[in-house]
Amino acid sequence: MNDDEANGDVQFIKAHKMILASRNTVFEAMLFGPAADKVDIIQISTFSYELMDLLLKYLYSEKTHITESTARPMFEMAYFYQVPALINLCSQYIQSIFRDDSVCGILELALLYGNVGLRNAASIISIKMP
């Protein structure tokens, strides 16, 4: 379940607890760990409905569609939910869309999350800049 903060609506995404837990240690802890709520609906308000939908689809299929507008939030969400393969996909996509005017933002993201690939790519581009 996800709260849409803009208008107060609650949106639901159906998913199988066992599949989520088998594919992700964060969901495993949320759903079956010692501090897990024993309810059928969990509320997630950290990320938007659209991003959660993309994450769950990725966990089910290991496929996703990354765009320029979703790359950074998906990267951050992948770190939050500890999904290394999705972190790598987002990092590769972000590196592929680098522009001179985005180096500082990408470097900030790399340093915030300790992502060596993004840091190296941002450093190479910033060295080339006058």
Residue 46: inside a domain, yes or no? yes
Q: In CATH, what number is assigned to the domain containing residue 20?
A: 3.30.710.10
Q: How many domains is the chain partitioned into structurally?
A: 1
Does residue 116 belong to any structural domain of this protein?
no
pLDDT tens sequence across 26-53: 999 999 999 888 888 888 888 999 999 9
Model pTM? 0.82
Q: Which residues of 85-105 are buried (b: 16+ CB within 10 A; e: fewer)?
A: ebbebbbebbbeeeeeebbee
**Domain range holding 84?**
2-97
Whether residue 22 is contained in a domain is answered as: yes
Q: Answer yes or no: is 44 within a domain.
A: yes
Asked, for residue 17, whether it belongs to a domain, the answer is yes
The pLDDT tens digits for 102-130 are 788 888 999 999 999 888 887 775 555 55
Q: Which residues contact 59 (CB under 8 A, 6 or more apart)?
A: 19, 20, 23, 24, 27, 83
